[in-house]
Structure 1
Amino acid sequence: MDPRLFLADLEAKPASLRRLASTLTGDVWRGLREPVERVLLLGMGSSRYAAEMAALRLRAAGVDAVAEYASAANSYPAGPRTLVVAISATGNSQETLDAATRYQGSGRLVALTNSPDSPLADVADLVVPMHAGTEEGGVACRTFQHTLLLLLDLVDRLTGAPRDGAGLARRAADATEDLLARRDEWLPRASDLLDGPHGLYALAPVERLSSAWQSALMVREGPRRPADGCETGDWSHVDVYLTKTLDYRALLFPGSRYDPPALDWLSARGATVLAVGAEVAGAAAVIRYPGDDDPGVRLLTETLVAELVAARWWAASI
């Protein structure tokens, strides 16, 4: 793992997204056996974060879907109309491999991976490549973004919604490019605001909870600092207590109808809030970018703020 290579991986995001967009003009899920009545998404770490967002959207459309820790001892049994998508960027995650073998030979096992020649691909009935390129920094950043996009495309395919994966990828590339180009304007301030003695705390609505989880993971994985992610509504039940005793530094991804009570507590207890993607009263700073009024663009773009902060802290620590 190398912070300079991690930064280079982040800088390559726009070009990588545009390459994926050209792939999404076709049906990357071609060969999927239908009909599908139940969807099981398996993964660990950021793979599971992305899977949770897809499962939520499938359930909202009436599809029986769950994102499962691949390490779970048991889950849904294989069935003639159960689609299993095992997600692993490297294709070598042991937990995901172990879980996938339970469905090997079912005719319904799909490997979503950045390594089409990996052990996970070998046991799958269908392989869907992430097309994220090699992440030289050793941190899943582009693969996380590509996993989200591909799973959103799967949601559209299974629910009959208009397929806009290519367009969304291009819009996310434009937004990502903008944040990268203007980083000298916002990154030093963001890094200072979030640089407290007690870690970083990310809040996001349930529809984009992966942004909070991934942001915290980037801070733990790169600079190895304490960080946690929480759903905004749940925050008032499980994390609010820390604001009374810690120098609380919040990275807020607005959009939840429960933003106001969380912000009331954060303000009353003198917490520092950095908001991304929308104006927030009382925030110490707000970072905007083109397309931040589009929920899909937000989901795919907003984690870049924490990723660049993490890269900056990581480089400074060496």
Structure 2
Amino acid sequence: MKPDGFAADLRRKPEVLERLAATLAARNPWAQVVPKNVDRVVLLGMGSSAYAGGVAAARMRAKGLTVTSELASSTLLPDWGAGTLVVATSASGGSVETLNALDRLPAAAHTIALTNTAGSAITERCRDVVELAAEPEVGGVACRSYQHTLALLLALECHLTGTDTAALAASVAAAADGSAHLLATESDWRPEVSDLLLGPTGTHFAAPAHRYCSAQQAALMLREGPRLAAVGCETGDWSHVDVYLTKTTDYRLAVFAGSAWEAQLAEWTAARGSTVVGIGGDVPGAGYHLRYPGDTDDDVRLLTEVLVAELVAATAWQDYAAR
């Protein structure tokens, strides 16, 4: 992995997203590969792919579909028989756990690879392929491919619910605009946000359940690049699993806005003097709020907000590499 390459990958997010938006406005890439008799869907992946899959599956279940997201490493994969669609996601196309899971699936399942790497091992193991179209990530970190995984899984939701992709394409285009704004104004907000969030005992991220993957991915970016301690949590669950650390550590928390449980979280962080940064909305108890165009739309938030953590991680990683 390369810190300068990672930073360069982030800079290209808006233009690559804009191309994806144009593709989705023209067609839904799932229309030609999903069988007509699909009754159930299994999303498989590891790491970032699994984070995106967890939220995508929850969204589809909320629409009445039978969908689950599973870690490919699990020995408890669903055996749902005929009518099952399995979407195996791997940006590199070579995740060994995902390839292994494909070998363990019931023969009746129809498999589709969702990947950023044409001709990779996963494309040979699956019946069909949907391309992420995130372009090569020279830094070696799944950043654009994570964002595109979310967008393409939302497109799968559109296909399975009989909805066209016009609104999704608009959200992807708006996410490109929001990302461009964050990049253009980075020097205005990133130094202060970095100072607030990169504490001596680690960094924490919270996001609402319907965007939980944002907190997971944000924390992963700090662990994967600059190798800093970071944890992602769901905002409501925070009061049950993470609150305890506010009493004994120099607690630093970024809250991706949009949860009904932010006030409950703020009661604890305010009482214990924790450092809180609100991203994409006015978060109770936050000492700093970072806003960007389009952040009142939940799908735009989902596709944009992790860039804040990625830019913090990129600079910290470059600083570490320069020592």
Q: C-alpha deviations, 1:125-175, integer Å up to 9, x for none?
A: 110000011100011000000000000010111112342332221111011
- AA paired with 1:22? A
TM-score of the aligned structures, taking structure 1 as reference length: 0.97
Residues 1:218 and 2:221 aligned together: yes
Q: Secondary structure at the match of 2:282?
A: coil
Letter in structure 2 aligned against 1:26 = R
Single out whichever of 103-112 and 68-77 deviates more from structure 2: 103-112
**Secondary structure class of the residue paired with 1:84:** strand
8 A contact 1:248–1:271 mirrored in 2: yes
Q: Which residue does 1:253 correspond to in 2?
A: 256
2:268 corresponds to which letter in structure 1? Answer: W
What residue is the counterpart of 2:135 in the other structure?
133
Pairwise CA RMSD: 1.2
Name the structure 2 match of 1:28.
Answer: 29
Amino acid at match of 1:286: H
TM superposition shift of 1:78: 5.2
**Matching of residue 310 in structure 1 with residue 309 in structure 2:** no
Once the 2 structures are TM-superposed, how far is the Cα of residue 116 of structure 1 from its aligned partner?
Answer: 2.1
**Partner in structure 1 of residue 5 of structure 2:** 5
- Separation in 2, partners of 1:161, 1:8: 35
- TM-score of the aligned structures, taking structure 2 as reference length: 0.96
Q: How many residues align?
A: 318
Contact 1:168 1:296 in 2 (8 A): yes
Counterpart Cα distance in 2 of 1:215 and 1:5: 18
**Aligned to 1:295, which of 283, 295, 298?**
298
Query: What residue identity is the alignment partner of 1:236?
Result: S
Residues 93 and 121 in structure 2, CA contact (< 8 A), matched pair in contact too: yes
Which residue of the other structure, out of 228, 238, 241, is the alignment partner of 2:241? 238
1:78, 1:103 within 8 Å by CA — same for their partners in 2? no
The CA distance in 1 between the partners of 2:288 and 2:56, in whole Å, is 30
**Native 8 Å contact 1:107 1:125 kept in 2:** no
SS, match of residue 159 in structure 2: helix
**What are structure 1's unaligned runs of at least 5 residues?**
none
Q: State the shift of 1:262 in Å.
A: 0.6
- Residue 109 of structure 1 is aligned with which of 108, 111, 114? 111
What is the deviation of 1:35?
A: 2.3
Distance, in Å, in 1 between the alignment partners of 2:134 and 2:288 is 32
Report the CA distance between 1:282 and its aligned residue.
2.8
Q: What is the DSSP-based 3-state SS (H/G/I as helix, E as strand, rest coil) of the residue aligned with 2:200? A: coil
1:151 to 149, 153, 157: 153
Take 1:101 and 1:257, find their aligned partners in 2: how far apart are those partners? 42
Contact kept? 2:216, 2:233, Cα under 8 Å: yes
The answer as to 2:275 corresponding to 1:272 is yes
The aligned residue for residue 77 of structure 2 is 75
User: Is 1:193 matched with 2:196?
Assistant: yes
Aligned mates of 1:50, 1:179 — CA distance in 2: 22
Q: What amino acid sits opposite 1:28 in the alignment? A: P
> What is the aligned partner in structure 1 of residue 179 from structure 2?
176
Spell out, residue by residue over 1:21-55, the C-alpha distance to the aligned partner (whole angstroms, 9 max, x if none): 22212120112102221110000000000001110
1:104, distance to aligned residue in structure 2 (A): 7.6
- Post-superposition shift, 1:18? 1.1
- Whole-angstrom distance in 2 between the partners of 1:297 and 1:306: 16
**Which of the residues 165, 168, 171 maps onto 1:165?**
168
Matched, 1:15 2:18: no
The letter of the residue matching 2:257 is: P
Give the conservation status (yes or no) of the 8 Å contact 1:103–1:109. Answer: no
Work out which of the residue numbers 206, 209, 213 in structure 1 matches 2:209. Answer: 206
* SS of aligned partner of 1:230: strand
**Matched residue of 2:147: which SS?**
helix
Instruction: Tell me how far 1:70 sits from its aligned partner.
Output: 0.3
Letter of the structure 2 residue corresponding to residue 262 of structure 1: L
Cα pair 1:150 1:165 within 8 Å, conserved: no
Check conservation: 2:83, 2:109, Cα contact below 8 A: no
The 10-residue stretch of structure 1 (195-204 or 27-36) with the greater mean CA deviation from structure 2: 27-36
CA deviation after TM superposition for structure 1 residue 6, in Å: 0.4
In 2: Cα distance, 1:31 partner to 1:55 partner = 19
Q: Hey, what does 1:65 align to over in structure 2?
A: 67
CA contact (8 A) 2:269 2:285 kept: no
AA aligned to 1:76 is: P
Deviations 1:84-119 (A, max 9, x none): 000000010000001112338546100000012011
Corresponding residue for 2:42? 40
Amino acid at match of 1:111: A
Q: Distance in 2 between matches of 1:234 and 1:161?
A: 32
